[in-house]
Amino acid sequence: MTAQTDTPGSVTTVYKVSGMSCGHCEGSVSGEISGIDGVTSVTAVASTGEVTVVSAAPLDDEAVRAAVDEAGFELVGKA
């Protein structure tokens, strides 16, 4: 599990997501997670299945899971 603070007041968390295979997949996952309150940045990488999220505070894992599900993919857990 990775959670680190980059700047005061921000938290970076890396999640593992299964099923992403292309840029469209990355965009779908990023778009859904970006809609969660407090999220300031999302970077999804299909080749590794990793999604890096920067937020103002730690996120509720169930909110992230719901966003990934809405995009059509599966949240495996934190990297």
User: pLDDT tens for residues 17-76?
Assistant: 999 999 999 999 999 999 999 999 999 999 999 999 999 999 999 999 999 999 999 999
Q: What is the model's pLDDT at position 9?
A: 75
**For residues 9 and 79, what is the distance between their CA atoms, to the nearest angstrom?**
21
Q: The domain 3-78: what is its CATH number?
A: 3.30.70.100
Q: What is the model's pLDDT at position 33?
A: 98
Element (H, E) at 51: strand 50-55
**pLDDT interval class at 5 (50, 70, 90):** very low
Task: Output the six-digit token pair for 20.
Answer: 């992403």
- For residues 34-52, one letter each, b for 16 or more C-beta atoms within 10 angstroms of the residue's C-beta and e for the rest, the string is eebeebeebebebeebbbb
